[in-house]
Amino acid sequence: MTHYTRFNLNIGWRVRSVALLAGAALPLAFAPLGWFPLAVLCPAILFLLCFQAASRQAMLVGFFFGVGFFGVGISWVAVSFYRFGGMGGVLSVAATVLFVLFLALFPALMAWLSRRVFPKLSALTYFTLLMPTLWVLFEWIRGWIFTGFPWVNLGYSQTDSPLAGLASVTGVYGISWVVALSAGLLVNSLWQTGRPRIFNVVGLMSLWVGAALLLLVEWSEPFGEPVTASLIQGNVPQNLKWRPEQRGPTVDLYTRLSRKRWDRDLVIWPETALPAYFHQAEAFLQGLAREAQANGGATLLVGLPVQSDNGDKQYYNAVVRVGTGGDADDDGDVFPSQIYKKSHLVPFGEYIPFKAVLGGLLDILQVPMANFSRGNPTQPLLTLIGQSPEQSTKQSTEQSPVQKISVSICYEDAFGEEVIRHLPEATLLVNVSNDAWFGDSFAPHQHLQMARMRSMETARPMLRATNNGISVMIDHRGQILASSPQFEVAVLDGEVQPRSGATPYVWVGNWPVLLGLVSVLSLCGFLSRRSARRQEVVLNKVG
């Protein structure tokens, strides 16, 4: 017979305070602190509080948890609004509070649904099936609705835990599910006594050991020779970057830092490194490309805005593989430019949704270049510029295989399902970003953690160049090979090994997790209805 330990909780301000504090502690599981066990403990507290509550009370508990979680976890939004959005202190705080309150609705609705739609579930089913499934479902909805905000998804907290082994199989949402399931098993082991408690502890340990064993699997293999790279970090202040008088010093800085690295395979400038359109700087950049080819053969990738050439005056946030113009000749010493145009834009940062109604926000927010168009989701991959034997400075005279580069710009690396569009063809990931918008906050560290997850999911190395740090080189296991300091002019030199092959996540994406969510919710609905019918039969017999 199963024995349970009962927790008598008065659902009042004390319980809501506990929920608020548990939510506020959860962001500490993420970078930069990385106290990943909190990602299990804090949701476990929420699950326990909700199980003890009626539906409306559970909704309040979930809401307070969400206020604490997002209030701390995305507090950096206020920095963007205040320091770089020109909104002023009061308006910045108000906008941040509204955003946090909106996000807090997700755990609130999760908690409400758990008690309203599934009121008759046993503790075991509630903690280990329903709540982990609802948690991940609402994470997925948050990562999709209004173009998505997947920041601080639970799975990202596990980049340095044994559960990181699941990334290549299930992606970040699968890790979130296992973290939430671990929270449910933890609560149930406290809730139950006797042999069931042992089963829950064994189940919890088995999950983590099994995930750790997946870290031993190699899902990809080396492809060609290692690529030497230099990531140029200009550290140009965000409030000066777009001033006309700053353009010359910015160009001089990036040019000077790059000229010493033409013997590298790849030189990368960060997002919108040049505060000018490509057609305005094309002649200058073509000159740099010719100089690079004459002095070592480096491929130059530059982040800068691009204006469409079809007369419709559309603008794109882009990365250009700078070429010397024209078509490549037989000797391979003339190379055309290749352009990647950002596809997943940031609402209110790069474009204004419902522009006819909200277009005036462009003037209020004062965000430069905030009227971009969306690039095609499926674009040709960029490639390294090849070298003829006469030009090559490398010891090997053999022709290297073509390295295809999957480029993402800033926020795009937060969406695993979009990065895998370019795989398994891509052998190398490149991300350019401008985290200067976030100042000295949690955001650059959280953003880097998401980039590491993309390498884990795809078994591909990543080169990540940012304006003011953290620029990094990441291997195919998501481990940081080299990193730059923040808020300094720096050049990060190193090499990564391109990879070929595909992980299970590359082949199937998020679909197995989504189908699993639907299946488990259907099962929970069936179990809840069956329990209700049994209870009704018992009451009728008693009556």
H or E stretch at 432: strand 428-433
Tell me which DSSP letter residue 127 carries: I
> Do 387 and 332 meet the contact criterion of CB atoms below 8 Å apart?
yes
Question: Which residue in 404, 410, 412, 457 is the catalytic one?
Answer: 410
Could you tell me the CA-to-CA distances from 170 to 39, 165, 456, 504 in Å, in that order?
18, 9, 11, 8
Pairing of strands 404-409, 428-433: parallel
341 is an active site residue: yes
Chain centroid to CA 510: how far? 14
Which regions of 125-223 does DSSP assign to beta strands (E)? 192-193, 221-222
Tell me how far apart the terminal alpha carbons of the chain are, to the nearest angstrom.
Answer: 27
Question: Which residue in 241, 341, 342, 404 is the catalytic one?
Answer: 341
Which residue carries 């004390």 as its tokens? Answer: 14
Residue 303 β-bridge partners: 319
How many other C-beta atoms can be found within 10 angstroms of the C-beta atom of residue 421?
A: 16
Of 111, 130, 109, the residue nearest 121 (C-alpha): 130
DSSP string, 59-122: HHHHHHHHHHHHHHHTTHHHHIIIIIS---HHHHHHHHHHHHHHHHHHHHHHHHHHHHTSTT--
245 is an active site residue: no
Pairing of strands 299-307, 315-321: antiparallel
Which residue carries 């580069």 as its tokens? Answer: 405
Question: Which residue in 42, 50, 241, 271 is the catalytic one?
Answer: 271
Which residues does the annotation mark as catalytic?
271, 341, 410
